Amino acid sequence: MPWDRNQMAERAAQELEDGMYVNLGIGIPTLVANYVGDKDITLQSENGMLGMGPFPYEGEEDPDLINAGKQTITELNRTAYFDSATSFGMIRGGKIAAAILGAMEVAENGDLANWMIPGKLVKGMGGAMDLVAGVGRVIVVMDHTNKHGDSKLLKECTLPLTGKGVVDRIITNLGVLDVVEGGLKIVETAEGVTEEELRTATQATIV
């Protein structure tokens, strides 16, 4: 059985080590926070916060306290606030150990596309280009194929790039792959998924 969203998030949480400062993207990456367990992880929200807490209880929402997805959130006893230039200074400066992000396409050389589809409504890249260029490690969490069944792990991205050669590891519903010299390397497969099934679902070169 391929992993479901929560199992992918749980697997991605294993990438995080005690003491890390981490930025989580929108969607499945947000769920990773549910699986960090006892590890001491500090979440960054790029609109200007380290130490992001859970959603507030009803009636306790604060319009001055939101995450990068513009959702109301809470602070923790470790929280620090700062301005946007400082926030991206720590991102660009390589102080954030890892970013876990969703993607539309990843290429075998680590190219990432997740911000625009030509001909469709373009909303903007937000902080994604800064994150993938700056953080220590970029981990993509996404479905292995799109809704037509086509591989999202490609020899070359077809969509406009968010970053060139930036992805380190890809966690899909079928397994885990690393970007290495010459292509992608299978790290593990989801329980019940064979290496053959993963290869068949992948357009990118597997080395």
Partner 1 sequence: MQKIYPNAAEALDGLLFDGMFIAAGGFGLCGIPELLLDAIKDAGTKDLTFASNNAGVDDFGIGILLQTRQVKKMISSYVGENAEFMRQYLSGELELEFNPQGTLAERMRAGGCGIPGFYTKTGVGTVIADGKEHKDFNGETYILEEGIFADLAIVKAWKADETGNLIFRKTARNFNPPAAMCGKTCVVEVEEIVAKGELDPDHIHLPGIYVHRIIQGAHEKRIEQRTTRKREDA
Please identify every residue annotated as catalytic. 46
Distances from the Cα of 120 to the Cα of 30, 116, 124, 142, 158, angstroms? 25, 8, 12, 20, 14
171 contacts 143 by C-beta, under 8 angstroms: no
The single residue among 21, 88, 102, 178 that binds partner 1, judged by CB under 8 A, is 88
| 196 binds partner 1, rule: CB under 8 A | no
The answer to whether the Cα torsion of 78, 58, 99, 207 is positive or negative is positive
57 binds partner 1 (CB under 8 A): yes
Q: Considering only residues 36, 129, 186, 206, which one is a binding residue for partner 1 as defined by CB under 8 A?
A: 129
134 binds partner 1 (CB under 8 A): yes
Q: Which residue in the set 23, 162, 172, 173 belongs to the binding site for partner 1 (CB under 8 A)?
A: 162
Residue 78 sits in the site that holds partner 1 (CB under 8 A): no
The Cα–Cα gap between 45 and 73 comes to 10
Instruction: Verify binding: residue 77, partner 1, rule CB under 8 A.
Output: no
Query: Which is nearest to 157 in space by CA: 149, 148, 166?
Result: 166
Residue whose token pair is 């200007």:
48
Question: Which residues make up the interface to partner 1 (CB under 8 A)?
Answer: 45-49, 54-58, 60-67, 69-73, 75, 81-85, 87-89, 91-92, 111, 121-130, 133-134, 160-165
